[in-house]
Structure 1
Amino acid sequence: MASGKINVSVENIFPLIKKFLYNDHEIFLRELVSNATDATLKLKHLTSIGEAKVEYGNPIIEVKIDKEGKKLHIIDQGLGMTSDEVEKYINQVAFSGAEEFLEKYKDSAKDSGIIGHFGLGFYSAFMVAEKVELITKSYKDEPAAHWTCDGSPEFTLIPSDKTTRGTEIILHIAEDSLDFLEEYKIKELLNKYNKFMPIAIKFGTKKQSLPKPEDAADDYVAEEIEVDNIINNPNPAWTKQPADLTDEDYKTFYHELYPMQFEEPLFNIHLNVDYPFNLTGILYFPKMSNDMQMQKDKIQMYQNQVFVTDNVEGIVPEFLGMLKGVIDSPDIPLNVSRSGLQADSNVKKISNYITRKVADKLKALFTENREDFEKKWNDIKIVLEYGMLSEPKFYEKAGSFILYPTVDNKYYILNELKEAIKDNQTDKNGKLVVLYASNKDAQHSYIAAAKDKGYQVLLLDSPIISHLIQKLEGDNENLTFVRVDGDSIEKLIEKDEVQISKLSDDETEKLKTVLETLVPKPTYNVQLEAMDSNASPFIITQPEFMRRMKEMSQSGGGGMFGMGNMPEMYNLVVNSNSELATTILNTTDKSTQEHLVKQALDLAKISQGLLKGEDLTAFVKRSFELIK
């Protein structure tokens, strides 16, 4: 029998482990199952190079609950340890056996999948256990060893009668952690952290029906047998080559990742790189809503098939955080602060690579089947538009596949759009004027008026479109965007004929004075314009700059521009060539004149969705009176 003190650099490592090493106590199971996986993969590697003269077989890892004895067992069939190795790897805390193994076999072990980053992982057991036993037998022909520690620096190490290769860890669960003896809890943790571990994990048994014999009678009842309940998938899709997977394989894996997700993904991007860092994974584009916050934290981060986190901020470009899928890289540290991740050179390279890979895939999808890409545009646009705003490298590539749809469901990329409007939509300074709507139904009358003049009208309705427009205008000096119900189109498009006013200058001034007396200030700025006599008599527009600033402040730009809550300001554009304008001007009865202005203003408000509450009620009542 041997006894002694564990070699630690602090007086007592265990309170440190329990309180500070990991934020969440449930991590202990991830660490211990990962260590068992390590031991198994090491043995696989040593047998493959002929250094271990044993039969590798089909080893599994078993997790068992002994609720009555208040014990949790983690059992592997890996390479095990000798007594000397227990002294070295268990008693010398933080001396990582996996790291030493990788150093020794660094050339041949390159692709063996050994985790090698867990270090203190074994001691995480003391976060939930008041005593830990380790019974282990090495693949070498040496006696088994039995190590015991009660959570103090004291340990015992004695010979064991274990005859089979591998290691069993027995956790005597502490009173404050008895929930880890519940079957549902352990199953939940194994599914969360170890669902895709590369070694099969057994947790209990399940019943399985035997195949029906060919000569069985019609009333044959299949015999059931107990079989191991393997709860993980050791060979998930992302570990395979894209050439070996079908579209159906990708969809099946998507539903394995997200069992409660019933909609199919639109398409996927398979990531696979081994230089200058290791990274594999599959990203899925699901159908997107306009609520960006609701979409986040759907990508799962793994390290050598061990689940790490679903908060991938700093690793995955922010705009792709709205996607779903999995990323696996041994080059991302497991337990490190977010600021540490952001400063990590490998993490920056990985983020840049993912951005480039996604952009390349999108371009390929657009080029190979533009029609299909256009059909999916409304379901993915929020991600790509956000990417253009937040990732310069993505913005550089996006011009070849970002679409600008019209209200008539025609799709342009930016260069095509410029070509389509260059002869018909330029302002007096030679700039191309891009007209767009943000709500096809609410702005229908404005859209119809623009289309009557032969203009193209885009439908840009995402919540961040004002920010994107600002950026596009900054990078394209000859381009200006104007919402179709914004500043009067007649002022902007050079080809519009200049209408001659039917009113004299004096009449125009008189009419403006009447209107300014009756129209609420400062919300509405009255403007008289000579338009076609068939055009709407009263039109409400909003100055493009003011409207855009207000939209940006509402969608997250308030702090950027210092706008806060901007006041509502509109233009009331009155067509001085309309019959209504002449009627208002020539009406001598002030009450009738006021009634006409108020009714016309309310009709213009309705077209902009601005008539609400008491004003709407009064308008409806007044309208019924008119048709009696």
Structure 2
Amino acid sequence: MENKQFQAESKRLLEMMINSIYSHREIFLRELVSNASDAIDKLYYRALTDDTLSFDKDSYFIKVVADKENRTLKISDSGIGMTKEELENNLGTIAKSGSLAFKSETELKDGHDIIGQFGVGFYSSFMVADIVTVISRSLDSDEAYKWESKGVDGYTIEKCEKDSVGTEIILKIKENTEDENYDEFLEQYQLKAIIKKYSDFIRYPIKMDVTSSRLKNGSENEYEDHEEEQIINSMVPIWRKNKNELTPDDYENFYTEKRYGFDKPLKHIHISVDGAVRYNAILFIPEKTPFDYYTKEYEKGLELYSNGVLIMNKCSDLLPDYFSFVKGMVDSEDLSLNISREILQHDRQLKLIAKNIKNKIKGQLQSLLKEEREKYEEFYQSFGKQLKFGVYNDFGSNKDTLQDLLMFYSSKEKKLVTLDEYISRMPEDQKYIYYASGETNERIEKLPQTELVAEKGYEILYFTDEIDEFAIRMLMAYKEKEFKSISSGDLGIKDEESQNEPDSNENKDLFDYMKGILANKVKDVRVSKRLKSHPVCLTTEGEITIEMEKILKSMPNNQNVQADKVLELNINHEVFKSLKDAFEKDKEKVSLYTNLLYNQALLIEGLPINDPVEFTNDICKIML
């Protein structure tokens, strides 16, 4: 028996590896299974160039055996095996990668590839094991060797007996502690779950002896334990199958099996790319919003595989935030992985995949909007807010990508319409895209400010989401048509601009008097050019509208944001005649009427009244 010490660098790396690099201990099994798969792959490639070897894929497998009594877990394979020198090189020097070196020397064909770096992944075993034993016999040797280590102190290597070519790794599982439960790595159900989670699509069978209950022969109600060998992994991933072979049910079952959601997918996207970067992907647009979707707890991302091995559960870099509702997976042979296989390097290939995925999702949504309108509207009810936030976010840098996907409720159509549909219906004399903001469509419909725009026959878009106005301000215009709030000071309706100007000047003293009464509450009091049947309304000047003020004030740590409000009066209304008469005869009544009209305008906008008691007293005074 030879006693060996790890190189100093390897010793330090091993300590760091055990204590910090891997965030989930269970992935040790993923690493060992991947290494076993690599070993069988190497034998496959040898057979391609060696006529004395034959490779019958059905004869090769990986076996996982748990022994609770002796606290051991064994992972064995029928791969190419290792010589004494390879055991020392691959396991004695952590940074040395047998798989990586092999990959660089071999021309890979037929869709196979070598995953990861053997030495590094192997040492994840010490997160769960006190002793790790490796027994291996190489295809190139009649002798077998046993490598064994208790961790950073070093390892031993000696000859041993092994009848067949291949490798066995035996882990002496640690005893439980107050903080850690290591028994779970000896439980059949847990081992099966880990294999299904990370290694379901390894191309060789992963076998386990599984215990289950069955009726005793000749008995109707007596059961006995029965152990049988089962293949745990499915081996052929759906994304590598021909699309023509798959049915909608296949995709729906995959969605359910992967637990992407409790709903059914509204649409799927199956991508197979063999270009500058090779990858397969299956993406799903969900039917319903996850319960935590619009919370900080929601975590976006796609499952990321490297050649069928799960690398990351949620790779957020593959999806832009505005498409964070998309579920699914990506599998690529071309991604560069760092030392733990758990963290992906932000390389050029990943960025290319992400860009392509973004374009595919947008294309699918556009197709849904055009060809399956009802389905798109169903999707939009769930995730439209996210698209609008995408327009607003990042200073509007994504508005060109998203603007054609936006929809708003229409005053004319009484349903959701796109901006393009709105533009297509605009009369020649209409300068702006008009919108109105409020809590509900029903409340917006009753707003006094809509009267003039509606009378002109212009369509109004209803904004009921908090993000709507902020997104539109970032969008600024659509197809060279600017957006205009119906509460804006200037509606841009030419034939009304000069109307009532003489009356405005005629009533200047009254308006100035009212403005004095409402000091610090409104910026101005003026004649309304938009009111037809209502006596009063509030409009705004500047960038902040009343709805934006309400939203900003409701936010934590809000600043005292105020819209520049203007009180507009309908001089053709009976109420104005009473107001004017009071100005000439009873100034005290003018104050009463002014406060009532101002509070009435606040209520119409859904704004709080400063003094409800005073408001009710003012109403009583009128009734006396």
TM-score over 0.5 (shorter chain): yes
1-structure distance, mates of 2:617, 2:64: 74
Q: Give the stretch that moved more between structures: 279-288 or 231-240.
A: 231-240
- Show structure 1 runs of 5+ residues with no match: 427-431
Q: Taking structure 1 as reference, are residues 357 and 533 closer, same or farther at Cα in structure 2, changes over 3 Å only? A: closer
Give 1:285's aligned residue: 285
Question: Which residue pairs with 1:207 in the alignment?
Answer: 212
* 8 Å contact kept, 2:463–2:469: no
Q: 1:482 aligns with which of 484, 488, 491?
A: 484
Shift in Å, 1:170:
1.7
The residue type equivalent to 1:511 in the other structure is: L
Q: Which residue of 2 aligns with 1:468?
A: 471
Distance in 2 between residues matched to 1:605 and 1:146, nearest whole Å: 84
> Is the alpha carbon distance of 1:530 and 1:83 closer, same or farther for their aligned partners in structure 2, counting shifts above 3 Å?
closer
2:247 matched to which residue of 1? Answer: 246
1:595 equivalent in alignment to 2:596 = no
Q: Per-residue CA shift, 1:236-292, capped at 9, x if unaligned?
A: 322323332222211111111216x32222212222212111222222222348827
In the TM superposition, residue 33 of structure 1 has moved relative to its aligned partner by 2.3
Provide closer, same or farther for how the CA distance between residues 40 and 611 of structure 1 changes in structure 2, counting only shifts above 3 A.
same
Compared with structure 1, are the counterparts of its residues 67 and 355 closer, same or farther at alpha carbon in structure 2 (3 Å cutoff)?
same
| Pairs within 5 Å for 1:52-451 | 52-53=53-54, 55-57=56-58, 59-108=60-109, 111-117=111-117, 119-138=119-138, 142-152=142-152, 154-175=154-175, 179-182=181-184, 183=187, 186=191, 189-202=194-207, 205-207=210-212, 225-228=226-229, 230-258=231-259, 261-286=261-286, 287-288=288-289, 291=294, 293=296, 295-335=298-338, 344-370=347-373, 372-388=375-391, 396=400, 398=402, 401-407=405-411, 408-410=413-415, 412-426=417-431, 432-437=432-437, 439=439, 440-446=441-447, 449=451, 450-451=453-454
Contact 1:196-1:232 within 8 A present in 2 as well: yes
Deviation at 1:66, TM superposition (A): 3.5
The 1:17/1:64 distance shift into structure 2, 3 A limit, reads same
- Once the two structures are TM-superposed, the CA of residue 610 in structure 1 deviates from its matched residue by 0.5
CA distance in 1, matches of 2:614, 2:477: 45
Q: 1:457 to 1:598 in 2, by over 3 A?
A: same
The residue number in structure 2 matching 1:538 is 536
Cα separation, 1, equivalents of 2:46 and 2:562: 73
The SS at the match of 1:524 is coil
How large is the RMSD of aligned CA atoms in angstroms?
A: 4.2
Distance, in Å, in 1 between the alignment partners of 2:297 and 2:442 is 26
Q: Within 5 A, what are the aligned runs for 1:452-601? A: 452-473=455-476, 478-484=480-486, 486-488=487-489, 491-496=491-496, 498-500=498-500, 503=503, 505-506=505-506, 508-519=507-518, 521-531=519-529, 534-543=532-541, 545-547=543-545, 554=552, 566-587=561-582, 588-590=585-587, 592-601=589-598
Is contact 2:130–2:172 with CA below 8 Å preserved after alignment?
yes
Whole-angstrom distance in 2 between the partners of 1:34 and 1:553: 52
Q: Is the 8 A contact 1:466 1:548 kept in 2?
A: no
Instruction: Report the AA paired with residue 377 of structure 1.
Output: Y
Shift of 1:21: 4.1
Paired amino acid for 1:14 = L
Residue 610 of structure 1 is aligned with which of 604, 607, 611? 607
CA distance in 1, matches of 2:167, 2:102: 17
8 Å contact from structure 1 (residues 32, 74) kept in 2: yes
Shift of 1:318: 3.5
CA distance in 2 between counterparts of 1:492 and 1:584 reads 29
Cα distance change on mapping 1:504 and 1:134 into 2, 3 Å: closer
DSSP-derived class of the 1:72 partner: strand
The CA deviation at 1:592 is 4.1
CA contact (8 A) 1:303 1:329 kept: yes
Deviation at 1:230, TM superposition (A): 4.8
Answer whether contact 1:438 1:460 (CA < 8 A) is retained.
yes
Kept after mapping to 2: 8 A contact 1:550/1:566: no
Q: CA contact under 8 A between 1:533 and 1:577: conserved in structure 2? A: no
How many residues are paired up? 606
Change in Cα spacing, 1:190 to 1:337, as seen in structure 2 (3 Å) is closer
- Equivalence for 1:429: none
> Closer, same or farther in 2 for the Cα pair 1:457/1:208, shift >3 Å?
farther
- Would the aligned equivalents of 1:356 and 1:394 in 2 still touch at CA under 8 Å? no
Deviates more, 1:16-25 or 1:417-426: 16-25
1:375-428 CA deviation, whole Å, 9 max, x = no partner?
Answer: 4333342344455566999655556555455244455544443232242522xx
After superposition, the Cα gap between the structure-2 partners of 1:38 and 1:341, relative to the gap in structure 1 and judged at 3 Å, is: closer
Q: For the residues of structure 2 that align with 1:56 and 1:555, how far apart are their CA atoms?
A: 67
> Which sits farther off after the overlay, 113-122 or 176-185?
176-185
Q: 1:208 to 1:389 in 2, by over 3 A?
A: farther
Distance across 2 between alignment mates of 1:334 and 1:555? 47
CA contact (8 A) 1:295 1:323 kept: no
Aligned equivalents of 2:414, 2:41: Cα separation in 1? 55
Identity across matched positions, percent: 26
The answer to whether the 8 A contact 1:404-1:413 is kept is: yes
Q: TM-score of the superposition, structure 1-length normalised?
A: 0.82
Q: Is the 8 A contact 1:292 1:322 kept in 2?
A: no
Rounded to whole Å, the distance in 2 between the matches of 1:386 and 1:555 is 19
